[in-house]
Amino acid sequence: MTTQAHDLAARFGPALDTRWASLDASAQDFGHLVRATPLGVLRPGSAAEIKDVLEFAGPRGIAVSVRGGGHSMYGQGQAGDGIVLDLRGMRRIGPVTDRQVTVQAGALWREVLAATLPHGLTPPVLTDYLGASVGGVLSAGGLGGATHRHGLVADQVLELEVVTGAGDHRVCSPDRDPALWGAVLAGLGQCAVIVAATLRLAPAPDRVRRHCLYYTDLTRYLADQRMLAEEQRFGHLEGQARPADGQGWQYMIEAVVPYDGPCPPDDGALLAGLGHDPAALETEDLDYPQFAHRVDTDEEILTATGEWLHPHPWLNLLLPHDSAESVVRAVLADPAFQDLRDTGLVLLYPLLSARLRAPLFTRPPGQVPYLFALLRTAAPGSPETAAAMVAANRAAYELARSRGAVAYPVNALPMSDADWRDHYGSRWSALADAKRRHDPCLVLARGHGLRF
């Protein structure tokens, strides 16, 4: 046993879980690409317990990572020879009052929605998948179909309760300790552990009408996506590139409008002036909860086939409007990404830069960036294949970056010190100052690979 392991066991006693199965589970994540085994797992039940851990770990230089839903792609939530703080025990929600709710950071978004819907309310922006934790999504930023209207999931937070890396238990908001607030939202867990967040809520619609609009022409697809984002015709706007017959790709705008009562929306007005193939238009009406949970079915199917547990070398890029077309064409024609034609998913949808408020959320230049997400699965038991896919991610990142793009940093993408400095640009020194102030021993969230 190392000295640190001995000290940890002496300090936390039976609360420190060192069983093989627990260490093995915390040494992996959804990506199944990298592993780092911690010395132990702690399951705090309160901010005071998180504070105890950080006050102990800091002076000893013991790495501390937070695990919520465990959906990191490349070890972001792992802590080799350190402590994993498993926050799933901290998932208290509510009560829902006055169009807001305070939720503990270990709650999953599907648990948050289950608590708000009986009050006729919903978080205004949700990620596609509801199985990530509140803390995990707020630390990344959180993008979804309503981001072009309302901003990031993180932009809907009214107040945060945190414990900093130095062990300070603080409450922050735009008015109360705004510097800490700005360092935590979309801050990749570098400065503090989020204990709880007070979220703004909006009325949940009864139903939504979902249109799938198909395009063969990428130029027209991007122009229509941009127009729809700017005009805000729809409540939810996403889209995909999908393999077409033969070698090419086609594109699908997913345009969703919420409605209440018996009167459906005016499709003629909503779809006017768009260049999709009208013969291919697909329209369906869904209950709002059914729509919000739409990825659950994919999770069930992929869990049944086993793919959900295979390696996931995912890459999420944010492309400037001006170079989006050239990057999409280049990457989708790259032989290294051809497996996306058989399995996987390519998301391609617009955001509005002016709506993205969390200062640490890095976006490319221009008013209308696009999320370009290359979501694929590697066969298990073939580390060479998975490594080649990560290398392809790296090449795509470099290509896109040379045309003004940035990473949405929830990726299977090795990033160097220079990459991170480039990612944050002029905000790097503010982040580094915040890190030194709030996590002076640099113990928090090392798995993201930022070095200060």
Ligand X SMILES: Cc1cc2nc3c(=O)[nH]c(=O)nc-3n(C[C@H](O)[C@H](O)[C@H](O)COP(=O)(O)OP(=O)(O)OC[C@H]3O[C@@H](n4cnc5c(N)ncnc54)[C@H](O)[C@@H]3O)c2cc1C
**CA–CA dist 69, 292 (Å, integer):** 18
Here's the x/- map for ligand X, 193-232, by CB under 6 A: it reads as xx--------------------------------------
Q: Please provide the DSSP assignment of 315-370 as one string.
A: EEEEE-HHHHHHHHHHHHH-GGGGGGGTS-EEEEEE--GGG---TT----SSS--E
Residue at 265: amino acid letter: P
Residue with Cβ nearer ligand X (212 or 271) = 212
First vs last C-alpha separation in the chain:
29
Of the listed pieces 142-150, 285-293, 360-368, 425-433, which binds ligand X according to CB under 6 A? 142-150
Element at 54 (helix H, strand E): helix 47-60
Strands 83-86 and 64-67 come out as parallel
Assess 377 for contact with ligand X (CB under 6 A).
no
Of the listed pieces 135-143, 170-178, 206-214, 393-401, which binds ligand X according to CB under 6 A? 135-143
Residue 241 and residue 319 in contact, taking contact as beta carbons nearer than 8 Å: no
Subset of residues 13 to 42 that bind ligand X, contact rule: CB under 6 A: 29-30
The candidate with the shortest Cα–Cα distance to 265, out of 289, 295, 235, 293, is 235
Subset of residues 66 to 85 that bind ligand X, contact rule: CB under 6 A: 66-72, 76-77
Quote the least distance from Cβ 136 to ligand X, whole Å: 2
How far, CA to CA in Å, does 312 sit from each of 136, 230, 412, 445?
Answer: 17, 33, 8, 21
Quote the least distance from Cβ 182 to ligand X, whole Å: 14
DSSP letter, residue 427: G
Assess 411 for contact with ligand X (CB under 6 A).
no
Residue at shortest CB range from ligand X: 136
Assess 128 for contact with ligand X (CB under 6 A).
yes
Residue 220 and residue 275 in contact, taking contact as beta carbons nearer than 8 Å: yes
Quote the least distance from Cβ 220 to ligand X, whole Å: 25
Of the listed pieces 9-17, 55-63, 185-193, 276-284, which binds ligand X according to CB under 6 A? 185-193
Quote the least distance from Cβ 317 to ligand X, whole Å: 13
Chain positions contacting ligand X, by CB under 6 A: 29-30, 65-72, 76-77, 87, 105, 127-129, 132-133, 135-137, 139-140, 142-144, 188-189, 193-194, 410, 445, 447
